[in-house]
Chains A and B, each alone.
Chain A
Amino acid sequence: METREHLLHRLQAIQRQFRHIPPQAMQQAATDYQLPLSQVAAVVAFYSFFSTQPRGRFDILFSNCTSCGYLVEGENLLQILCRQLQTVPGKTRADDLVSIDETSCIGMCDHGASMLVNGIPITGLNLEKLARIAQRVTDAIPVQHWPVEWFAIVDTVHRRDLLLAKHPVPGSALRQAFSQGAGETLAIIRRSGLRGRGGAGFDTGKKWQLSRDTSGNTRYVVCNADEGEPGTFKDRLLLHEYAEELFEGMTLCAFIIGATQGFIYLRGEYRYLLPQLQSALKRRRSRGLLGARILKQRNFDFDIAIVVGAGAYICGEESALIESLEGKPGIPRIRPPFPVTHGYLGQPTVVNNVETFIAAAHITVHGADWFKAAGTTASAGTKILSVSGDCGKPGIYEYPFGVTIRQVLDDCAAVAAQAVQIGGPSGALLGPAAFDRTLAFDDVSTGGSVLVFGQQHDLLTIHRNFARFFAHESCGFCTPCRVGTQLLQNTLDNIAAGRGATADIEELQQLGKIVQRQSHCGLGHTAANHVLDSLRQFPQVFPNRMRSPFTARFDLDQALASTRRITRQNDAAAHLDQHK
């Protein structure tokens, strides 16, 4: 077990106490952790939930996701709350009472517009609720005294299959594994055809085998519960209601590869799940399912610690996640070597998604054939989907692989969808012509997010939202992604502002390809997908906005605003027409 508090946890505590990380606290952390001050400063600067300027006593962060974001039926909830509380986005009000800003998707997509208040989610925002929140903030009523029902997050599961239908008896997978041995259990997992559920779809059995076969002083099991892909919230459900199976799957993995320490890297947005996860871990320890000599196995000690992230989508990338576990900024490593051989602290490390571990636990109990009976040849088993957007029944759906997009759309009561984004912004944007395609690793692959866009949606707005997400979440390490994602955002914003030029189509295409092909990690490789998909399938989205072959690349008249004010001139000569 880790004895010292994790650096991220120390900084989170400081942030909570002082509402920012003061310089002395950074210095103290550097001393205590024997780190260069610059490393602590780099960590503080990297994660969104740390700040060097004090935030408000009520620190409000609106999700800006297309599903749980603050734009609701033409209203901008963020602006409205700012007006009600007489403050501006991103700035702490002078009296320190409140700060309001936005943050990337907080995983409440099935609950409508949502926010974090001092780190705790409130969902289903509307004008009326906003007014009541504003009142409580103004009256400085502590968040603990706000109506409890505001904080209730109800998981709606519309379709259950292999993993969601029944809970296995805690310990049953472990007992099975102990009785048949680690080798045989691994063989069963390999035979089941289980592939990673986090997006990339790597063969899980093979990953465990590789780690088992690598020499190392010790080994680690890491559960990737960072779930940062906008529109994904299935791990939220799993962590909430299926944590037992998750722990079981991780322990199973530890038994197979020979690990003694596991970590769950929980995204900061899901901190509200922490107490419950901690008590579930405690319960397992008391039942002998975790800790020393698990189920009285003489040579098997294993425990799980939870590390809470601090707002960085890139930390879902496994090597960035490991960097973060090591208390550093989440910058993806050079791969190879891969984490299976050189992971946490340089030791062999298995990183898997929440759902993958749960599937492994089930497979151990029910067998490979049980699992393979569902799904397709290349994609065995089921996939848990998070469905949201313009549909009547948002929520969780578990389908066998091979289900068509059309089926999913019918089941979730999506009427006349214009497009769906499968796998979140980094996935694929598909129009009606592709609705008969199937969800499977060899067709449309997904980590679980399905965003539905009805006819009323303007696709350019969606693209701008996604582009902004990637520019904001790019770790900044490599040039094509750091600069390219920003250029994509700027180009789309320009088009939306009426400054698009016909040459921008070609520009988006070229730029998109460079970001996709030349970047260092998966974030950059996928950041332009949505634009490239759209140029192929919805070619009218962009040209419709373009007035001429060329327009000035910035707002000409706005560029004169300062001098108009300074010289107090405002006649015709003091203005410029953008489109002359």
Chain B
Amino acid sequence: MIAGTNTIYIDGQEIPFTPGQTVMDAALAASVYIPHLCHYPGLPPSGNCRLCMVETGGRNVAACIAQAAAGQEIRNNTPELNAARMAITQMLFVEGNHICPSCEKTGNCKLQAMAYHLGMLDQHFSQFYQHRDIDASHPDIALDRSRCILCDLCVRASRDIDRKNVFAIAGRGIDAHLIVNSASGKLADTPIAATDLAATICPVGAILIKEQGYRVPIGQRIYDRRTICETGLQEHIAQQRRDQ
């Protein structure tokens, strides 16, 4: 048989896929890392962060939402794509207020880990200095919108897994922001619990569980020990639930 009715090629490497799989699914299953922040296997893909942009047929597509198609030649780990990924990461940094030394998520943060992975030394763009609201109303969960990258993971987790529909993203353009589904707009008035997927899936330090700060000291945290390319291959909602 000619290499694959059900094969795609990522940077020349042959990768099998099952019909209906996205390029991302197929790549992860074959232990090929495609950078991503807004995707979490087990949740429906969104395609908003644009870090997983790969090139195929002269076009750039988001691997997490593009269907794999037989014989497709895909470029992933190229200098141009990685440069674009770096710029997008820097955009996320300047859009919010990311002061890593004062953030409890440091070392466990995927935005930061992505920046490490891409070799980001500075933010390049001018800071936006946005003012975004903090919600500390909930006894167990804090929401600091300054660090939210609008990845929509908490929205999907709460809607599709927790079935509580606690979050939504509202507002257009740079005014886009995370809102909470309660009359007061506060987390305390929602049924969210610290054990919910929505409370723990945030890739950055926007949703934090209270009273756990710095249990693992800086220097011994996830991305102090491993890279995001390693951890990114092993994530799945089912696993996350079991670990809880």
Contacts and interface: CB of A to CB of B under 8 A. Distances in A.
Task: Tell whether any CB of A sits under 8 Å from a CB of B in the complex.
Answer: yes
B168 interface: yes
Interface string B32-62: 0000000000000101111001000000101
Nearest to A37: B181
A336 interface: yes
Interface in A401-434: none
B94 interface: yes
B179 A487 contact: no
A480 B88 contact: yes
A218 interface: no
Contact of A510 (B87, B181, B182): B87
Contacts of A487: 91, 125
Given A483-B92, A483-B95, A476 B175 contact: yes
Contacts of A36: 165, 168, 181
Nearest to A487: B125
Given A36-B165, A483-B92, A45 B47 contact: no
**Highest count of chain A CB atoms <10 Å: which of B48, B92, B94, B172:** B172
A518 B174 contact: no
A471 B180 CA distance: 25
A482 interface: yes
Size class of the contact patch on chain B: 35 or more
A398 interface: no
B166 to A, nearest CB: 8
B126 interface: yes
B149 to A, nearest CB: 8
B167 interface: yes
Contact of A38 (B128, B175, B181): B181
**Highest count of chain B CB atoms <10 Å: which of A329, A479, A490:** A479
Given A487-B91, A487-B125, A41 B170 contact: yes
A27 B183 CA distance: 7
Nearest to B90: A483
B174 A479 contact: no
A485 to B, nearest CB: 7
Q: How would you classify the secondary structure of chain A's contact residues: helix, strand, loop or mixed? A: helix
B160 to A, nearest CB: 13
A554 interface: yes
A520 interface: yes
Interface in B115-162: 125-126, 128, 149-150
A473 interface: yes
B29 interface: no
B48 A38 contact: no
Nearest to B155: A38
A520 B185 CA distance: 29
A486 B174 contact: yes
Nearest to B65: A334
Given A23-B183, A334-B65, A553-B126, A479 B88 contact: yes
A42 B88 contact: no
A209 to B, nearest CB: 22
B176 interface: yes
A299 to B, nearest CB: 36
A496 to B, nearest CB: 15
Interface in A465-495: 471-480, 482-487, 490
Interface in A509-538: 510-511, 514, 517-520
Interface in B63-82: 65, 67
A122 B184 CA distance: 39
A448 B168 CA distance: 36
B88 A38 contact: no
Contacts of A482: 95, 150, 173-174, 176
Contacts of A334: 45, 47, 65
A570 interface: no
A232 to B, nearest CB: 21
A42 B169 contact: yes
Contact of A475 (B92, B168, B172, B179): B172
Contacts of B126: 490, 553-554
A471 B173 CA distance: 6
A162 interface: no
A37 B84 CA distance: 37
B171 interface: yes
A78 interface: no
A82 to B, nearest CB: 23
A58 interface: no
A42 B84 contact: no
Nearest to B49: A479
Interface in B210-238: none
**Highest count of chain A CB atoms <10 Å: which of B91, B150, B173:** B173
A312 interface: yes
B84 A476 contact: no
B91 A483 contact: yes
A471 B174 contact: yes
A92 B183 CA distance: 25
A519 B50 CA distance: 7
Interface string A47-77: 0000000000000000000000000000000
Contacts of A41: 168, 170, 179, 185
A477 B171 CA distance: 10
A486 B128 contact: yes
Nearest to A554: B126
A42 B175 CA distance: 12
A46 B95 CA distance: 19
A336 B165 contact: no
Nearest to B176: A476
Contacts of A569: none
Contacts of A471: 173-174
B174 A483 contact: yes
B95 to A, nearest CB: 5
A39 interface: yes
Contact of B150 (A42, A476, A520): A476
Given A482-B95, A519-B50, 18 more contacts: A23-B183, A27-B183, A37-B183, A38-B165, A41-B179, A42-B169, A42-B170, A334-B45, A472-B172, A473-B172, A476-B175, A477-B176, A478-B50, A479-B48, A479-B49, A479-B91, A511-B87, A520-B47
24 contacts: A36-B165, A37-B181, A38-B167, A44-B170, A314-B172, A471-B173, A471-B174, A473-B172, A473-B173, A475-B173, A476-B174, A476-B175, A477-B48, A479-B91, A480-B88, A482-B174, A482-B176, A483-B174, A487-B91, A487-B125, A510-B87, A517-B60, A518-B88, A553-B126
Interface of A: 23, 27, 36-39, 41-42, 44-46, 312, 314, 329, 334, 336, 471-480, 482-487, 490, 510-511, 514, 517-520, 553-554
Per CB-CB distance, the 8 closest pairs between chain A and chain B, nearest first, are: A476-B176, A38-B181, A38-B168, A483-B91, A45-B170, A42-B170, A474-B173, A45-B171
